[in-house]
């Protein structure tokens, strides 16, 4: 098989290139909501051929697969995306409304699910049911996908505590998992930003990254920023009334009332972690 190594290496590089291009198109679609059909077909074909390669031991057959793969070319100019061409105020209203309920946009979540004008007229519990159903339908298919994303993407330091938190969540003991998930969120964000800052300073550094370089990630990134800055990490006096959503300071400083915590609160934290993984994956910094 040594004689085949150059071919295998070439196929691997082509796979990486095609999938990276598809990923770039998908990221652009976070705003345009358009993934070129040809790009999708190329990525699917690359994956299919990659699976075939694993079972091929015959040199002639492998060469045929390679010849077929080498005919796949990427000559698809991505659509020019100018964020200002879109109704920026509309997008911001929907994003802020969704995060006021606790939902951020993940890399796996369809934008047409997240960006719906009708949410603006819906009650919070109605919106909750839409996103909960998204994760629980088809025998929890999307929840399983989210879990896999987190297991693959989270820093190794969180592996054990995340597994324990996940077990507790699945067993219905989600309240114990909530403080741990908040700690993981803060730790992951600090690593993404490359900072030792906490609290207000951490949010300021996050905000400093929200410039033109992030336009392809505007929806996901801003949803995470608004949720963390205006809700989860919001400064709120302990003498004031409890906020509607979970608050990091109140929980980790022992001021919140755990009887108010719900299972969907834990799911929202898992959802937020998935958003951070998407941001980390495309290296916004």
Please check whether residue 19 lies inside any domain of the structure. yes
Do 137 and 61 belong together in one domain? Answer: no
Do 47 and 94 belong together in one domain? Answer: no
Please check whether residue 233 lies inside any domain of the structure. yes
pLDDT confidence of residue 34: 36
**Please, what is the Cα angle at 217 between 216 and 223, to 5 degrees?**
145
Domain encompassing residue 185:
84-281
Pair 280, 192: CB distance under 8 Å: yes
pLDDT confidence of residue 114: 95
Look at residues 26, 47, 70 and tell me which one is the last residue of a structural domain. Answer: 70
- pLDDT tens-place string over residues 119-171: 999 999 999 999 999 999 999 999 999 999 999 999 999 999 999 999 999 99
C-alpha separations of 126 from 98, 130, 174 in Å: 11, 7, 21
Supply the Cα-derived Rg of the chain in whole angstroms.
21
Do 101 and 235 belong together in one domain? Answer: yes
| Of residues 211, 193, 171, the one with CA closest to residue 276 | 193
Look at residues 15, 37, 70 and tell me which one is the last residue of a structural domain. Answer: 70
pLDDT confidence of residue 65: 54
| Domain count along the chain | 2
pLDDT confidence of residue 51: 55
Please check whether residue 228 lies inside any domain of the structure. yes
Do 53 and 101 belong together in one domain? Answer: no
Do 211 and 275 belong together in one domain? Answer: yes
Distance CA 175, CA 153 (A): 24
Look at residues 70, 98, 117 and tell me which one is the last residue of a structural domain. Answer: 70
- pLDDT tens-place string over residues 5-16: 555 555 555 545
pTM over 0.85: no
Pair 109, 141: CB distance under 8 Å: no
pLDDT confidence of residue 195: 82
Please check whether residue 79 lies inside any domain of the structure. no
pLDDT confidence of residue 154: 94
Low-confidence ranges of the chain (pLDDT < 50): 15, 18-41, 43-44, 70, 72-85, 212-216, 284-285
């Amino acid at each position: 098989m040594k004689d085949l190594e150059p071919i295998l290496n070439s196929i691997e590089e082509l796979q990486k290139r095609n999938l990276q291009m598809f990923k770039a198109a998908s990221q652009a679609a976070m705003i345009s909501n358009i993934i070129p059909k040809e790009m999708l077909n190329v990525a699917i074909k690359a994956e299919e051929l990659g699976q075939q390669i694993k079972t091929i031991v015959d040199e002639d057959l492998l060469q045929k697969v390679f010849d077929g793969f080498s005919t796949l070319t990427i000559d698809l100019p991505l659509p020019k995306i100018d964020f200002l061409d879109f109704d920026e105020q509309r997008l911001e209203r929907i994003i802020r409304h969704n995060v006021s309920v606790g939902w951020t946009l993940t890399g796996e979540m369809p934008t047409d699910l997240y960006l719906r004008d009708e949410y603006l007229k819906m009650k919070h519990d109605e919106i909750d049911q839409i996103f909960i159903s998204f994760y629980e339908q088809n025998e929890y298919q999307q929840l399983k996908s989210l879990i896999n994303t987190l297991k693959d993407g989270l820093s190794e330091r969180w592996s054990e505590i995340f597994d324990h938190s996940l077990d507790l969540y699945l067993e219905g003991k989600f309240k114990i998992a909530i403080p741990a998930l908040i700690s993981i969120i803060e730790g992951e964000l600090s690593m993404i930003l490359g900072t030792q800052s906490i609290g207000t300073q951490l949010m300021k550094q996050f905000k400093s990254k929200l410039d033109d370089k992030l336009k392809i990630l505007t929806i996901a990134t801003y949803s995470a920023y608004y949720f963390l800055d205006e809700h989860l990490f919001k400064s709120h006096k302990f003498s004031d009334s409890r906020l509607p959503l979970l608050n990091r300071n109140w929980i980790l400083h022992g001021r919140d009332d755990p009887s108010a915590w719900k299972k969907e609160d834990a799911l929202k934290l898992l959802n937020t972690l998935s958003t951070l993984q998407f941001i980390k994956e495309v290296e916004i910094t």
